[in-house]
Amino acid sequence: MYHGEMGSERYAPFTVQEMKQKAYDYWALGHIHVASVLSMEPPIVYPGTPQGHTKKEQETPGVLLVTLSEGTPIFEAHAVQEITWDEVTCSLANVKNQRTALEKILALFTKSEKNSLKFN
């Protein structure tokens, strides 16, 4: 396990070659929240993050479950987040007053999926 950023000069830098030289069976990496596989042999993987931390993390689809056995590792993607960060557009064209605007905005959120923002 290593918490760092490949090729970074600022935060715990490493290279895939350095990781491979350690001859470990598997590297689970942290710091980058988007799941990605840097190497298959040995598996060097950013498994992702269970929850996007801010609205900038709309592209964090969940985590990778990595199963190791003899032969090729198996990667399974799992969406485990409780909240998704999405952008929505609400047209207020032809809205004449604040009350109607607020009702239209609230309707957009209250009819969306269970993980979206709800108002009571």
Predicted pLDDT of residue 83: 74
Predicted pLDDT of residue 112: 54
List the helix and strand counts (H, then E) for the chain: 2, 8
Predicted pLDDT of residue 60: 67
C-alpha 117/C-alpha 108 separation (Å) is: 10
Predicted pLDDT of residue 52: 74
- Regions of the chain with pLDDT less than 70: 58-61, 111-120
pTM for this model (two decimals): 0.66
**pLDDT tens digits, one per residue of 85-110:** 777 788 899 999 999 999 988 888 77
